[in-house]
Amino acid sequence: MTAFPSTDDMRHAHDLIASHIRKTPVFAIDGTELGLAGPVSLKLELLQHSGTFKPRGAFYNLLSRDVPEAGVAAASGGNHGAAVAYAARKLGIKARIFVPDIASPAKIARIRSYGAEIVVKGERYADALELCSAYQTETGAIGLHAYDGFHTICGQGTLGLELEQQMGPDLPDTLLVAVGGGGLISGIASWFDKRVKVIGVEPNEASALAQALAAGGPVDVPVSGVAADSLGAKRTGDMVYQIARDKIDHVLCLDDEAILEAQKTLWTRHHLATEAGGATAFAALLSGAYKPEKDERVGVVLCGSNVDLDKLATLTSQE
């Protein structure tokens, strides 16, 4: 029987990685600006090392598994690769990262800046994953799955643990979390285990988890849109699906325009530079796709800041 992450597993993960990650802040904004009755708590995980939550899972993998001389290999839309490269450099481990052609130049540059070998090839994440798997077979390097692995999900779940430590009895009633492959939301939902209502938010153009839940299991989906380089998983994982089915409330899907408007608003009103995927959960509130009840406390995970600043400048200058 497959083991699923428990709260004890995530406590162990947190103890192991705590000295390697940032404890990212929680920032309260005035919900009336969004037409809401109360405040909204933003978990600023976009300030994590390498610009996303993903070092949590990367460090836990590398610190808790035997790593051979061949090192580690990872396939990524960009953010997972940057996190693995960052963690590997800090721990003195060889890393090779495979990314598809759609990976943003900003993310490719970040991976290279951490000293990893990088292979840019293939149209989508699935193509990079196939190349990565072949490399692992050839060299013996261990693989770090971007989302559907026990250690990865445990590591990402430490964000929920940390949020509870920070907010205590003032925890949100509802937490909105962007979904790509689903490692972050399945980790957070495993930690809270329905004590907080966890809602996933996906782009319409990359909705692997929503379609899996509708179909009764993971299915291949087409991937495109503004957040494809970070939320563009072609298929959610088996472990992610089973956790999501049992522990998250539901998944919302948004159009690209709502995501871009959220990205713009986070910068112009709050001076937070997010990538499209990092703004997706916030878009559910801003667009009205999620309407909190009166006195409902709402939290949003802002999960990524690896944005091309020229593109952000163009977006925010548009009227």
List pLDDT tens digits, range 34-71.
Answer: 788 778 999 999 999 999 999 999 999 999 999 999 99
Q: What is the DSSP letter of 168?
A: G
In this structure, are strands 40-44 and 26-29 parallel, antiparallel, or unpaired?
A: antiparallel
**Per the domain annotation, does 230 fall within a domain?**
yes
Total tally of structural domains belonging to the chain: 2
Put the strands of the sheet holding 197-203 in their side by side order: 26-29, 40-44, 298-302, 174-178, 197-203, 250-254
Q: What is the pLDDT of residues 99-121, one digit of tens each?
A: 988 888 888 888 999 999 999 99
Instruction: Provide the domain limits for residue 34.
Output: 7-52+150-317
pLDDT at 1 over 50: no
**Per the domain annotation, does 1 fall within a domain?**
no
Residue type, 247: K
- Do residue 187 and residue 236 come from a single domain? yes
Q: What is the DSSP letter of 304?
A: B
**Per the domain annotation, does 175 fall within a domain?**
yes
Residue 19 CB: number of other CB atoms within 10 A? 7
**Per the domain annotation, does 22 fall within a domain?**
yes
Name the domain boundary from 108, 143, 178.
143
Name the domain boundary from 123, 143, 163.
143
- Do residue 176 and residue 248 come from a single domain? yes
pLDDT band at 319 (very low <50, low <70, confident <90, very high): low
pLDDT score for 50: 95
Name the domain boundary from 143, 171, 198.
143
**Per the domain annotation, does 2 fall within a domain?**
no
Q: What is the DSSP letter of 169?
A: G
What CATH code is carried by the domain that includes residue 123? 3.40.50.1100
- Do residue 71 and residue 155 come from a single domain? no
- Do residue 121 and residue 158 come from a single domain? no
Least confident of 9-13, 55-59, 313-317: 313-317
Average pLDDT, the chain: 94
Q: What are phi and psi of 72, to 5 degrees?
A: -125, 150
- Do residue 127 and residue 162 come from a single domain? no
Residue type, 276: A
